[in-house]
């Protein structure tokens, strides 16, 4: 069993991963500044797993906090979720994104190096792939220049980690390229809790369902897809969390830097998602078509075979599970963790 530092562990994906780490017997130290989360999620992590974790409220950009933490706990590996993730906001305040995501990550990697901790699982994104690639996207396809500053930060961090692993072979780094995380813990106690207006499809749909928003705007119905709406690879957050445990196990035994797609390998259109949500949950979702959103691609879904064969990971949940669990979380917690 390992002692794992989880940066951003109070957030959506981090909290689901912490439950599984504790269930598997790992010791968990969370570092989070709570800028986009609540400590409440960590209380729920602990009550679900019936185990305790250590929480440090702090920032990944703070070298002194990092050094103290590495000195105090005998950390074996780091799962690095902390960062800012709002695509639209990243266009308005790029420097803030560069600072938290790029400078923050470099501060973390420096502290890891000082503490001689070289095992890292990093939250990357399918957004790093060049837009000209045709789905299913596989890890050997070229990366490109993401259309937004958020995506750009992910690409930069991937590239610098690749160079770091070449220069210093002690490093062992997993780049997990997430597709579209949705869903929530089966208990309904943990889920996605976006602040303000949701940018992503699923929280918007559940907020319409719970009456917090009037109707969904579907961005474009003239794409070259099955019904004209955008196609994405939605992945249950519990499956995504389990990929981190598989990647951790893999990285504890090897070196180098390697990318893995974490998706189901299947694409669903916005209309298919909305209609399936209505069907499984018995709720009507009013919607209107509006023009395409800038920066969106028609279709993006994964080839997930590398993660299945190399990490021994396999997604368990269907789109219906994702929609049931997202709604279960939202209806039990209409105001999220507040």
> Concatenated DSSP letters for 197-219?
S--SHHHHHHHHHTTSSS-EEEE
> How far apart are the C-alpha atoms of 264 and 3, rounded to whole Å?
29
Interface with ligand NAD (CB under 6 A), residue from 61, 249, 292, 306: 61
Residue number with CB closer to ligand WQD (63 or 220): 220
Whether the link from the prior residue into 136 is cis, omega within 30° of 0, is yes
* 32: partner contacted, choices ligand WQD, ligand NAD, none (Cβ within 5-8 A by kind): ligand NAD
Which residues in this chain contact ligand WQD in the complex, by CB under 6 A? Answer: 85, 87, 125, 127, 151, 180, 199-201, 204, 216-219, 230, 232, 270, 293, 296
Using Cβ positions, the residue closest to ligand NAD within the complex turns out to be 11
Minimum CB separation of residue 252 from ligand WQD in Å reads 26
11 binds, among ligand WQD, ligand NAD, none (CB under 5 to 8 A by kind): ligand NAD
> Among ligand NAD, ligand WQD, none, what does residue 258 contact (CB within 5–8 Å per kind)?
none
Q: How far is the CB of 252 from ligand NAD (least distance, A)?
A: 21
Binding mask 167-186 for ligand NAD (x = CB under 6 A): -----------x--x-----
Q: Which is nearer to ligand NAD, 45 or 166 (CB)?
A: 45
- Answer with the entry of ligand NAD, ligand WQD, none that 219 interacts with (C-beta below 5 to 8 A by kind): ligand WQD
Of 57 and 170, nearer to ligand NAD (C-beta) is 57
Q: Report d(CA 202, CA 330) in Å as an integer.
A: 11
SS3 304: coil
**Helical ranges in the chain per DSSP H:** 12-23, 40-49, 63-72, 87-92, 94-97, 104-114, 149-167, 201-209, 237-252, 270-281, 305-311, 319-332
E-assigned strand segments in the chain: 3-7, 27-32, 54-57, 77-80, 119-125, 172-178, 180-182, 216-219, 231-232, 234-236, 256-262, 268-269, 287-290, 299-300
């Amino acid at each position: 069993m390992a002692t794992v530092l989880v940066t951003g562990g109070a957030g959506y994906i981090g909290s689901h991963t912490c439950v599984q780490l504790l269930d598997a017997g790992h010791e968990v130290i969370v570092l989070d500044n709570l800028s986009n989360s609540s400590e409440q999620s960590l209380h729920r992590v602990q009550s679900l797993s019936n185990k305790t974790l250590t929480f440090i409220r702090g920032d990944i950009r703070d070298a002194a906090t990092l050094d103290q933490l590495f000195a105090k706990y005998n950390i074996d590996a780091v799962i690095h979720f902390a960062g800012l993730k709002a695509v639209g906001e990243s266009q308005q305040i790029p420097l803030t994104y560069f600072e938290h995501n790029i400078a923050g990550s470099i501060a973390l990697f420096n502290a890891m190096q000082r503490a001689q901790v070289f095992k890292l699982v990093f939250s990357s994104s399918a957004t790093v792939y060049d837009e000209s690639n045709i789905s299913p996207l596989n890890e050997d396809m070229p990366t490109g220049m993401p259309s937004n500053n958020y995506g750009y930060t992910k690409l930069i961090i991937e590239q610098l980690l690749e160079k770091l692993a070449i220069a210093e072979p002690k490093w062992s780094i997993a780049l997990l390229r997430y597709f579209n995380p949705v869903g929530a813990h089966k208990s309904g106690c943990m889920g996605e809790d976006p602040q303000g207006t949701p940018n992503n499809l699923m929280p918007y749909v559940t907020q319409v369902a719970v009456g917090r928003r009037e109707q969904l705007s579907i961005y474009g119905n003239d794409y070259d897809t099955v019904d004209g709406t955008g196609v994405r690879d939605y992945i249950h957050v519990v499956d995504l969390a389990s990929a981190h445990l598989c990647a951790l196990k893999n990285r504890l035994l090897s070196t180098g830097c390697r990318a893995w797609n974490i998706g189901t390998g299947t694409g669903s259109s916005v209309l298919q998602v909305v209609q399936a949500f209505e069907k499984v949950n018995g709720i009507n979702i009013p919607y209107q078509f509006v023009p395409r959103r800038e920066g969106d691609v028609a279709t993006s879904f994964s080839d997930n075979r590398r993660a299945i064969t190399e990490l021994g990971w396999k997604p368990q949940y269907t789109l219906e599970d994702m929609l049931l669990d997202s709604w279960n979380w939202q209806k039990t917690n209409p105001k999220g963790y507040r």
